[in-house]
Amino acid sequence: MARQVLKKVALLAILMGIPSGIHALANEPANAPALRSNVSKLPDMSKSGIELPVKGIIGDLRMSLSADVKQKTGGALKAPLPKNPAKTVDNSEKPALKQAPSLKVEPGKVRWHKAIQTAMEASSQSGKPVLLFQMMGRLDDRFC
Amino acid sequence: MLFSDEVIARVINDRFEPVWVSVRDVPTVTIDFGKGHKLTRTLHGNVATYVLTADGTIIDVLPGLYESHQYLSQLNQLWWVHHYAVKTPEPAVFLADYHNEQSKAIKTSGKAKVVKPFADMSKMSIEISTKTILRSPVNLKAAGATSAATAPEMIERPDFSKPHQLKHWRKIYEDTDVNEHQRRGQIHRILANRPNAKPDDVTKEIYRDVLHADIDDPYLGLQETLFRDYPFQEDRPPTPDKISQKHG
């Protein structure tokens, strides 16, 4: 009798565990602390609270995500970077934005120069310092 | 989020020549639930804000994401550092001195010194130096500075569709504190030794050693973690040792 009860409890625990993992990855705020508690402690936690560190997430979920990891790392990460990414934020690319409106966003209300060289030339004229914002991904992408 | 803020955008537009660049793609994870139902999110999107002279020399770098008040305060101070640096006869000496002073201040007191504004340079009877332009922070709260310890209204779980709530997210304040008290010291040490550095000279070092994201590595230094238990041998990328042997 006791063994049957234990089996039921174990089955229930497995069933409860799978959906909670998916919800945590989906970044639902209500479940975020549950995922964070499983993330490895890093010496430098900056930004890890906002975007969970890859190592912690992958460490916990790598088996379930193996097919996706293969797809992502094999394609996207090997793609060559544009020489001048900021330059691509240009009127000439507006048609592309229309084709995939859900993936492109306005890069804030700042009037960005198209390239660092342009910003430096403007700086030598205006006397203002250059503000260079470096990032992984693109400021005009939904996922950046 | 930061650059959608009206005040931040206005300050940047008025006082700087802004440009953004991508150092590499951002890693994302997608879960395909089937029947067209997919969920995608980014995992690790580190950023850095550089303030540069017109010839590209780095004045200073703000590593990572900042809470909006601190970001504005820091940008304002870096504007003044630039203002002084370009007026000194030897900007490299001035910048090395500035970074050394700030590095020491963070190491000893946990806080960088505050840059004093002198709008009318002609009234400065003494030479511009870090001794004249830097002062110890006395009362940050009274001066309007915010941190995870002093911020008046922080939200634990913001509604991600509401930017004004995101601005007050506790995590942003906590990250700002780490950036200012830990990462900034590392930046000052790097730049103290290379006061003439351009972004290309230090970007990889900053991402690898300060932001802990090696942008030279296609797996951001996570290859061991990613592939340790991965079952399909044929998909595994060559290890760094094998790559160097092949090219050697």
B56 located within any domain: yes
Domain end call among A43, A78, A113: A78
My answer on whether A136 and A88 are in the same domain is: yes
**Alpha carbon of B128: minimum distance to chain A alpha carbons (Å):** 18
Segments of A14-144 assigned E as strands: 130-136
Q: Are B50 and A131 in contact (CB under 8 A)?
A: yes
The mean predicted confidence, pLDDT, of chain B is 82
My answer on whether A116 and A73 are in the same domain is: no
Domain end call among A62, A78, A94: A78
**Among B6, B8, B21, B79, the residue to mutate for chain A (most A Cβ within 10 A):** B21
My answer on whether A95 and A68 are in the same domain is: no
My answer on whether A47 and A27 are in the same domain is: yes
ipTM of the complex: 0.80
pLDDT digits (tens, 9 = 90+) for B203-237: 999 999 999 888 888 877 777 777 888 777 777 77
Nearest CB to B178 within list A46, A55, A131? A46
My answer on whether A17 and A71 are in the same domain is: yes
Query: In percent, how much of chain B has pLDDT > 70?
Result: 77
Mean pLDDT across B31-58: 86
**Domain range for residue A122?**
80-144
B43 located within any domain: yes
**Alpha carbon of B49: minimum distance to chain A alpha carbons (Å):** 5
Which of the 8 DSSP states describes residue B179? I
B114 located within any domain: yes
* Residue with the larger pLDDT of the pair A43 and B160: B160
With beta carbons under 8 A apart, name residues in chain A contacting B44.
Answer: 47, 51, 53-54, 136
My answer on whether A8 and A73 are in the same domain is: yes
Residue ranges of A 84-123 with Cβ closer than 8 A to chain B: 84-86, 106-116, 118-123
B184 located within any domain: yes
User: Per-10-residue mean pLDDT for chain A, 144 residues long?
Assistant: 54 46 39 38 47 48 44 44 46 42 69 96 97 89 59
pLDDT digits (tens, 9 = 90+) for B109-150: 888 899 988 766 665 545 677 777 888 776 555 444 555 555
- First CA to last CA distance, chain A: 54
B246 located within any domain: no
Which of the 8 DSSP states describes residue A141? B
Number of domains chain B is built from = 1
Nearest CB to A51 within list B22, B42, B203? B42
CB atoms within 10 A of CB B126: 7
pLDDT digits (tens, 9 = 90+) for B19-43: 999 998 877 778 888 988 888 776 6
Residue ranges of A 21-60 with Cβ closer than 8 A to chain B: 22, 25-27, 29-30, 32, 42, 44-47, 49-55, 57-59
**Alpha carbon of A13: minimum distance to chain B alpha carbons (Å):** 22
In 3D space, the residue among B122, B99, B166, B31 whose CA is nearest the CA of residue A64 turns out to be: B31
B233 located within any domain: no
**Alpha carbon of A55: minimum distance to chain B alpha carbons (Å):** 7
My answer on whether A23 and A88 are in the same domain is: no
pLDDT digits (tens, 9 = 90+) for B185-196: 999 999 999 999
B123 located within any domain: yes
pLDDT at A37: 38
My answer on whether A64 and A98 are in the same domain is: no
Domain end call among A57, A78, A99: A78
Separation CA B132–CA B135 (nearest Å): 8
Nearest CB to A131 within list B49, B54, B222? B49
**Among B23, B25, B167, the residue to mutate for chain A (most A Cβ within 10 A):** B25
My answer on whether A10 and A71 are in the same domain is: yes
pLDDT at A4: 60
Segment A48-56 long-range contacts (CB within 8 Å, at least 24 positions apart): A49/B171, A49/B174, A49/B175, A50/B65, A50/B169, A50/B171, A50/B172, A50/B175, A51/B42, A51/B43, A51/B44, A51/B45, A52/B43, A53/B43, A53/B44, A54/B27, A54/B43, A54/B44, A54/B220, A54/B222, A55/B222, A55/B225
**Alpha carbon of A23: minimum distance to chain B alpha carbons (Å):** 11
**Domain range for residue B170?**
2-216
Number of domains chain A is built from = 2
